[in-house]
């Protein structure tokens, strides 16, 4: 077996894919992290304290997972959805009744979206209550708040797209709140909706925000957020004083 | 010409002396005196496995949820027919509930903005690196958080009920200007409720960490209470009902 693994990982094909051998020794386990674009956000070594489940509850990772689920299901939904007042609703009905697994696809997207908002809020609470915002992690906390607002924006803009009564009136109520801002209120509302009330212009704008601008923003800020976790010395659990036995 | 070696004492070029005192530096020692032995593991494969397991868990949970409950889809949007109640998405129900208790500019713009600014400012208000990485930092921090949370869980529903059944803007209509009934009174009442635990805490010489613990807990629990009230307890006409006893067959879950 080990002979086979050795021959396999020394083959020219493997070597062209990966610049490390089979990761069963410290050197190759380090190289996995440093030579792979998906792994390089991780440190080579992590402290056992930061891996404790009761410390982080895995909420940051779960937020990212829901975001990935949303990206995949969202991309698939885009194949069936046209953001026009005439077609949006019937597209959703068609998706649910005619497209194989269409209802499941939409359900997955909807429930992941709710889960993501919930988990991101819980993640913020976890970071606050463990004091993980303290120096040198102040700026990463600020990025986290930005990500929370982007998450709310992504969910809110997506809420309009089915173009049913629920969507229409939720966005009407939600955007009317913006109009109460004393100086710029009506300007902000008109800017969001592209007109005095929710219509085709609003649907176009919410669609563009929902499938492009906000997800790109989330992807970008999340990358910085995770990168900074590493740069600031991993999870704050590493800074915790030693437990006295 | 031979110079007196004593004048060069600290900077001697003598071959016998290879070290010299240049400066005294304050700071932590370069050796990690306070730390135990490094307790680390290779991130591969441990962290990778944890991430795969979490992905499987979340994926299965979502799949199970999606197989058992369908996403809601009502009639096609009709601008001429208002739904009753007309509710924002659940995470904005706290805001919509706030609107019931005062002037919209105060409740939906000023107070939420102050909350977001406070949350952004937390690491700059409490900027000591001490106590990071530990839940509630100290036992006292844990007690403070628990007491504040319990207080908020009691005070905020009470405020919502009182304000709902004795609304100052209705009872004082024509007696005092709207400005007083809708802005001054809610600011004073909410101000007292929210700041009371902080005032009590300030008498015990708290640390910055304890102050932000109280304020954040107060705001966070209040936001949760308002969101739950708006989502579960508001029915037709945006009136208060028990969630399982809504008139007209309305269920709060329709609005997910």
Span A98-114, pLDDT tens digits = 999 999 999 999 999 99
Cβ count within 10 A of residue B201: 18
Asked whether the beta carbons of B99 and A173 are under 8 A apart, the reply is no
Helix (H, G, I), strand (E, B) or coil at A6: helix
Handedness of CA B52, B58, B64, B67 (dihedral sign): negative
pLDDT of residue B2: 55
State the pLDDT confidence band at A170, using cuts at 50, 70 and 90: very high
pLDDT of residue A63: 97
Planar angle of CA A29, A67, A43, nearest 5 degrees: 20
Residues B1-25: pLDDT tens digits? 555 555 555 555 556 666 777 788 7
pLDDT of residue A180: 84
State the pLDDT confidence band at B249, using cuts at 50, 70 and 90: confident
Distance from CA of A12 to the nearest CA of B (A): 23
- Alpha carbons A62 and A218: distance in angstroms, whole number: 15
- Using CB atoms, pick whichever of B62, B74, B133 lies closest to residue A115: B62
Q: Is A195 on the interface with B (CB under 8 A)?
A: no
State the pLDDT confidence band at B33, using cuts at 50, 70 and 90: low
For the ranges A134-148, A171-185, B68-82, B103-117, which has the lowest average pLDDT? A171-185
Distance from CA of B159 to the nearest CA of A (A): 22
- Interchain CB distance below 8 Å, A164 and B99: no
Q: Is B15 exposed, middle or buried (0-12, 13-18, 19+ CB in 10 A)?
A: exposed
Nearest to A199 by CA among A226, A160, A232, A145: A160
End-to-end CA distance of chain A: 43
pLDDT of residue A245: 47
Question: Which one of A3-7, A145-149, B25-29 scores highest in mean pLDDT?
Answer: A145-149
User: Which ranges of A79-164 does DSSP label H, i.e. alpha helix?
Assistant: 88-97, 102-129, 138-160
pLDDT of residue B98: 93
- Interchain CB distance below 8 Å, A182 and B105: yes
For the ranges A1-5, A190-194, A234-238, B217-221, which has the lowest average pLDDT? A1-5
| Cα atoms in the Cβ-side hemisphere of radius 13 Å centred on A126 | 20
Q: Greater confidence, B202 or A177?
A: B202
Q: Is the pLDDT of residue A130 over 60?
A: yes
Best probe of the A interface among B133, B140, B218, B227, by most A CBs < 10 A, is: B133
Mean pLDDT of chain B: 88
Map tokens 């003598």 to a residue: B14
pLDDT of residue A74: 97
State the pLDDT confidence band at A199, using cuts at 50, 70 and 90: very high
- Alpha carbons A173 and B43: distance in angstroms, whole number: 47
- Residue A47 β-bridge partners: B40
Q: Is the pLDDT of residue B220 over 90?
A: yes
Residues B88-120: pLDDT tens digits? 999 999 999 999 999 988 998 899 999 999 999
Nearest to A91 by CA among A171, A162, A169: A162
- Alpha carbons A126 and A122: distance in angstroms, whole number: 6
- Exposure string (b/e) for A69-91, b if CB count within 10 Å is 16 or more? bbeebbebbeeebebebeebbeb
Residue ranges of E strands in chain B:
40-42
Q: Greater confidence, A217 or A34?
A: A217
Domains and CATH numbers, chain A: 51-235 (1.20.810.10)
> Which positions 36-75 of A are in contact with B (Cβ < 8 Å)?
39, 42-49, 51, 55, 58, 61-62, 65-66, 69
pLDDT of residue A178: 81
pLDDT of residue A23: 86
pLDDT of residue B92: 92
- Exposure string (b/e) for A179-206, b if CB count within 10 Å is 16 or more? bbbeeebeeebbebbeeeebeebbbebb
State the pLDDT confidence band at B75, using cuts at 50, 70 and 90: very high
Q: Is A128 on the interface with B (CB under 8 A)?
A: yes
Asked whether the beta carbons of B62 and B125 are under 8 A apart, the reply is no
| Cα atoms in the Cβ-side hemisphere of radius 13 Å centred on B107 | 21
Residues A14-66: pLDDT tens digits? 889 888 888 888 999 999 888 888 888 888 888 888 888 899 999 999 999 99
Handedness of CA A122, A64, A62, B60 (dihedral sign): positive
Q: Is the pLDDT of residue A186 over 90?
A: no
Residues B60-72: pLDDT tens digits? 999 999 999 999 9
Chain B residues whose CB is inside 8 A of the A237 CB are: 133
Asked whether the beta carbons of A175 and A192 are under 8 A apart, the reply is yes
Helix (H, G, I), strand (E, B) or coil at B40: strand
Rounded to whole angstroms, the maximal C-alpha distance in chain B is 111
Mean pLDDT of chain A: 91
pLDDT of residue B193: 95
- Using CB atoms, pick whichever of A33, A125, A169 lies closest to residue B86: A169
Mean pLDDT of B210-214: 95
pLDDT of residue B11: 55
Q: CA-CA-CA-CA torsion for B144, B147, B150, B153, nearest 10 degrees?
A: -50
- Interchain CB distance below 8 Å, B127 and A134: yes
Q: What is the ipTM of this complex?
A: 0.89
pLDDT of residue A134: 93
């Amino acid at each position: 077996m080990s002979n086979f693994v050795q021959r396999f990982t020394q083959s020219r094909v493997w070597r062209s894919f990966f610049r490390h051998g089979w990761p069963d020794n410290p050197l190759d386990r380090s190289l996995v992290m440093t030579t792979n674009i998906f792994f390089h956000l991780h440190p080579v070594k992590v402290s056992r304290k930061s891996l404790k489940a009761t410390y982080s509850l895995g909420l940051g990772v779960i937020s990212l997972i829901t975001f990935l689920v949303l990206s995949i299901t969202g991309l698939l939904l885009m194949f069936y959805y046209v953001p026009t007042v005439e077609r949006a609703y019937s597209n959703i009905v068609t998706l649910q009744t005619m497209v194989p697994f269409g209802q499941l696809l939409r359900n997955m997207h909807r429930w992941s979206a709710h889960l993501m908002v919930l988990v991101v809020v819980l993640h913020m609470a976890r970071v606050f209550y463990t004091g993980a915002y303290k120096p040198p992690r102040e700026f990463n906390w600020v990025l986290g708040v930005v990500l929370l607002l982007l998450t709310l924006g992504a969910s809110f803009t997506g809420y309009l797209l089915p173009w049913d009564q629920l969507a229409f009136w939720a966005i009407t109520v939600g955007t009317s709140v913006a109009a109460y801002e004393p100086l710029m209120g009506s300007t902000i509302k008109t800017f969001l909706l592209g007109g005095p009330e929710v219509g085709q212009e609003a649907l176009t704008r919410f669609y563009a925000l929902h499938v492009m601008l906000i997800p790109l923003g989330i992807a970008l800020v999340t990358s910085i957020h995770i990168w900074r976790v590493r740069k600031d010395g991993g999870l704050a659990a590493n800074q915790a004083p030693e437990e006295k036995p | 010409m031979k110079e007196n070696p004593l004048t060069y004492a600290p900077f001697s070029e003598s071959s016998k002396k290879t070290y010299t005192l240049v400066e005294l530096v304050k700071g932590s020692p370069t050796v990690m005196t306070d730390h135990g032995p490094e307790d680390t593991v290779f991130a591969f494969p441990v962290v990778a496995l944890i991430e795969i397991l979490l992905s499987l868990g979340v994926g299965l949970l979502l799949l199970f949820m999606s197989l058992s409950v369908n996403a809601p889809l009502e009639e096609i949007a009709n601008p001429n027919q208002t739904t009753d109640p007309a509710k924002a998405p659940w995470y904005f129900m706290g805001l919509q509930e706030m609107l019931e208790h005062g002037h919209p500019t105060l409740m939906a713009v000023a107070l939420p903005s102050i909350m977001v600014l406070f949350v952004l400012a937390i690491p700059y208000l409490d900027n000591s690196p001490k106590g990071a990485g530990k839940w509630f930092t100290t036992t006292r921090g844990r007690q403070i958080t628990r007491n504040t949370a319990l207080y908020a869980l009691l005070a905020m529903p009470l405020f919502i009920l009182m304000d709902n059944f004795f609304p100052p803007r209705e009872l004082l209509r024509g007696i005092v200007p709207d400005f007083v009934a809708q802005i001054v009174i809610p600011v004073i009442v909410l101000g007292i409720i929210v700041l009371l635990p902080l005032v009590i805490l300030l008498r015990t010489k708290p640390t910055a960490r304890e102050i932000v613990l109280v304020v954040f807990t107060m705001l966070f629990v209040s936001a949760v209470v308002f969101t739950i009230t708006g989502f579960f307890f508001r029915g037709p006409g945006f009136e208060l009902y028990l969630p399982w006893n809504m008139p007209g067959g309305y269920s709060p879950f329709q609005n997910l």
